[in-house]
Amino acid sequence: DHHVTRLLIKHYHEKLHHTNSETLLNEIWQKYNIPRLRATLRKITNNCQICKERKATPYIPRMAPLPPARLAVGQRSFTHVGLDYFVPMTVKKWHIPSQLKVVFYVSDDLFLVEVHLLQYTAITEPIFEEPRLYSNIN
């Protein structure tokens, strides 16, 4: 655990491009007989930033469990549907000089990765009848 020993091991470690410890031990033992070489080598490689980055694993975030409807097998599309609304937005069409307030209706299916945008000029329109236009329910 001498300073010169650590410098020698670091030199070989960098010369061999941060290779595994067995290869490094073999290369050093061919020229030098160093007691407790394996323990000293472990200390040096554990403190090496390049080796730490090479051994690092990506962070995998925890996810919430899927809803039971998403795990069901054999169900048709649009059996379980989510409904959302945008806030009323002011829209101006190129051929109409006045502005128009609209609400956008979003329908998303749990099984298919689809989102449907429908535009409504008044909230009183029969919005819940519209999904039948694009669903495959007979």
- What gap in Å lies between CA 38 and CA 21, rounded to an integer? 8
Q: How far apart are CA 9 and CA 2, in angstroms?
A: 11
Beta strand 100-109 pairing with 81-85? antiparallel
Q: Is a pLDDT exceeding 50 seen at residue 113?
A: yes
Region 123-129: what's the mean pLDDT? Answer: 49
pLDDT digits over 31-41, tens only?
999 999 999 99
Handedness of CA 61, 62, 64, 69 (dihedral sign): positive
Provide the terminal-to-terminal Cα distance of the chain, rounded to the nearest Å.
79
Quote the Cα angle for 63-61-70, to 5°: 20
pLDDT in tens, 44-103: 999 999 999 999 998 988 888 877 777 777 777 667 666 666 666 666 666 666 666 666
